[in-house]
Structure 1
Amino acid sequence: MDKIDIKELARDLNLSTSTVSRAFRGNSDINAQTKERILARARELNYQPNLYASSLREKKSNTIAIIVPELANNFFSQAIKGIEKIARSKGYHTLIYVTDDEYQLEVSFIDDLSNGRVDGIIMSASGESKDHNYLNKLKKKHMPLVFFDRVYDDIDVAKVTTNDYESSFNATKHLIDAGCGKVAFLVINKSLSIGKMRLQGYVDALAAAGIPYKKELIIDCSNDHKKNYNILSKVLTTIKPDGLFASVERLAIASYYVCQDLGINIPKKVKVISFSSLEIAPLLNPSLTTITQPARDLGVHAAQLLFKSLESGEPAHEHVVLKSKIMPRRSTM
Structure 2
Amino acid sequence: MQKKSKKPLLRALVAALGFSATLGASAADPLKVGFVYIGPIGDHGWTYQHEQGRQAVIKELGDKVETSYVENVPEGADAERVIRNMAKGGFDLIFTTSFGYMNPTLKVAKQFPNVTFEHATGYKQDKNTATYLSRSYEGRYVGGFLAAKMTKTKKIGYVASFPIPEVIRDINAIQLALDKYNPGSEIKVVWVNSWFDPGKESDAANALIDQGVDVVFQHTDSPAPIQTAERRGVYSVGYASDMAHFGPKAVLTSIVNDWGPHYVKSTQAVIDGTWKSQDFWGGLAEDTIRLPISDLVPADVKAEAEQIIADIKSGAFHPFTGPIKDQSGVEKIPAGVAATNAELASMNYYVENVKAELPK
Q: How big is each residue's C-alpha offset from its partner over 1:116-151, in whole Å with a ceiling of 9 and x where there is no partner? A: 5211112211x347x71552331442221123xx42
CA separation of 1:196 and 1:307: change in aligned 2, threshold 3 A: farther
Please state if 1:231 is matched with 2:209.
Answer: no
Instruction: Find the aligned partners of 2:280 and 2:167 in 1 and give their Cα distance.
Output: 18
1:288-307 to structure 2, matched below 5 A, reads 288-295=251-258, 298-307=259-268
TM-score scaled by length of structure 1: 0.68
Identity of aligned residues (%): 11
Contact 1:273–1:288 (8 Å) recurs in 2: yes
Please state if 1:190 is matched with 2:155.
Answer: no
Please state if 1:67 is matched with 2:20.
Answer: no
Deviation at 1:165, TM superposition (A): 1.5
Letter in 2 for 1:286: K
Instruction: Find the aligned partners of 1:141 and 1:287 in 2 and give their Cα distance.
Output: 47
Q: Which has the larger radius of gyration?
A: 1
More helix by share: 1
Q: How big is each residue's C-alpha offset from its partner over 1:10-41, in whole Å with a ceiling of 9 and x where there is no partner? A: xxxxxxxxxxxx99xxx645665x77xx9xxx
Q: How big is each residue's C-alpha offset from its partner over 1:226-264, in whole Å with a ceiling of 9 and x where there is no partner? A: 222223223222x121211223452x433424652xxx3
> Which consecutive unaligned segments of at least 5 residues does structure 2 have?
1-9, 299-360
**Corresponding residue to 1:152 among 122, 136, 145:** 122
> What's the counterpart of residue 84 of structure 1?
58
1:1-333 to structure 2, matched below 5 A, reads 28=15, 32=20, 51=25, 54=26, 62-70=31-39, 71-72=41-42, 73=44, 74-88=48-62, 91-125=64-98, 127-128=99-100, 132=103, 135-142=106-113, 143-147=115-119, 150-156=120-126, 157-180=129-152, 181-191=154-164, 193-209=165-181, 211-212=183-184, 217-221=188-192, 222=194, 223-237=196-210, 239-250=211-222, 252-257=223-228, 260=231, 264-265=232-233, 270-278=234-242, 281-282=244-245, 284-286=247-249, 288-295=251-258, 298-309=259-270, 311-312=272-273, 315-323=276-284, 324-329=289-294
SS in 2 for 1:78: helix
Instruction: Find the aligned partners of 2:275 and 2:161 in 1 and give their Cα distance.
Output: 35
Instruction: Find the aligned partners of 1:281 and 1:154 in 2 and give their Cα distance.
Output: 35
TM-score scaled by length of structure 2: 0.64
Q: How many residues align?
A: 273
SS in 2 for 1:234: helix
Instruction: Find the aligned partners of 1:294 and 1:231 in 2 and give their Cα distance.
Output: 23
CA separation of 1:76 and 1:313: change in aligned 2, threshold 3 A: closer
Q: How big is each residue's C-alpha offset from its partner over 1:30-78, in whole Å with a ceiling of 9 and x where there is no partner? A: 665x77xx9xxxxxxxxxx7x3xx36xx9x8731111122311342332
Deviation at 1:316, TM superposition (A): 2.3
Deviation at 1:170, TM superposition (A): 1.0
SS in 2 for 1:114: helix
Letter in 2 for 1:300: P
SS in 1 for 2:91: coil
CA separation of 1:283 and 1:274: change in aligned 2, threshold 3 A: closer
Letter in 2 for 1:178: M
Q: How big is each residue's C-alpha offset from its partner over 1:280-299, in whole Å with a ceiling of 9 and x where there is no partner? A: 7247442633334352xx22
Instruction: Find the aligned partners of 1:135 and 1:190 in 2 and give their Cα distance.
Output: 21
